[in-house]
Structure 1
Amino acid sequence: MARKKRLATAALAACAALVVAQPAQASETVGWKPVNTNSNWHCTSYLYHPPSGLNLKTCIVLNRNNDAQAVLVAQNPTSSAKTISGRVVFESQRGGDVWCATSNFAAGGTAGCYAPTVRIPACKTTTDAKGTLNIAGHELVYTAVKGGISTFC
């Protein structure tokens, strides 16, 4: 009986080790949120997407502590709701990437998909923020602030 108990314990430990050893998901999935820009936001101009009627821009938000995040911003000036999803790739090596959840995007609305905040070393340049918006079978890719922006020294 003791031998069976030791085997069961060993098997349980092996299973636990396998669970811990599994790779983490590359980035989380987040919902779309309201957008309120200020002087910390460094954004491109809106890009119009004729097939969907939506406008899209990508921003890098940087504060004085050199914390930065990218935001994919969508604007729906049409009179009908749209179903959108997307992805933001920003400072991947620091964990700044995110998937944007599929969402019913109201007519007349503006919303942002916020990537995680990451710390950028002082006196460095952030990487480009790449936003991808998926709408009605179309994929629209836009890169913000080509070449990145410089952090505070």
Structure 2
Amino acid sequence: MAMWKRTFGLAAAGLAAVVLASSPAAAYPNWQAVDTNANWTCQGYQSHVGSSNVNFKGCVVRNAAGESQPVLVVQNKAGVAINIEAVLSVRSLTDRHDPDVYVFRCNPSPLQPGFTRGCFGPTSANWTASLTFYFNGIADSTAVSG
């Protein structure tokens, strides 16, 4: 019985390591609170085509290993809640002859007045990303590279 528990425990630990190692370091599919620091490089805010009270910008967050991740940051300056969602199309530039494109979606979510949230993409070494932001169903976009 002890041998079975040890074997099962090792197998479970190995499976967990594989799952965790294969998961990208990102917060999608849910919107997250944004807390910028010196590791963040962001564009200036731009107004969404649907409202001058809804702003967004693209950011790049770098880590100590030299990798980075795209983030779409959304700010609601309107006096009412809005509905937001995003699509991040991230193109790997590691192999220039066969670049891979990965699509990440942040789920539709309400954004209350005065709040700021971010849609975080995956962490990798060399990429470019198209960030499409949907506010009440209307699309607008920007792009960043890391």
> Same fold, TM exceeding 0.5?
yes
* CA deviation vs aligned residue, 1:49-97 (integer Å, no higher than 9, x gap): 2523210001111122022111000000111000111111234457864
Q: What RMSD over aligned residues (CA atoms) do the two structures have, in Å?
A: 2.2
| Equivalent residue number for residue 56 of structure 1 | 56
Give the letter for the 1:107 counterpart. P
The question of 1:47 aligning with 2:53 is answered no
TM-score (norm: length of structure 1)? 0.65
| Equivalent residue number for residue 38 of structure 1 | 37
Segments of structure 2 that go 5 or more residues without pairing to the other structure are: 1-26, 93-98
Q: Which has the higher contact order (CA 8 A, sep 6+)?
A: 2
Looking at structure 2, the residues matched to 113 and 31 of structure 1 have their Cα atoms a distance apart, in angstroms, of 7
Segments of structure 1 that go 5 or more residues without pairing to the other structure are: 1-27, 121-125
TM-score (norm: length of structure 2)? 0.68
Percent identity between the two aligned chains: 31
Structure with the bigger percentage of strand: 2
Aligned residue among 99, 104, 107 for 1:98 = 104
Please give the residue correspondences for 1:129-144 in structure 2 after superposition, counting only pairs within 5 Å: 129-144=129-144
Structure 1 residues 86 and 58, CA, compared in 2 at 3 Å: closer, same or farther? same
- The structure whose Rg is larger is 1
Q: Is the 8 A contact 1:43 1:58 kept in 2?
A: yes
Looking at structure 2, the residues matched to 108 and 63 of structure 1 have their Cα atoms a distance apart, in angstroms, of 29
Cα drift, residue 112 of structure 1 = 0.2
Cα drift, residue 127 of structure 1 = 3.2
| Equivalent residue number for residue 86 of structure 2 | 86
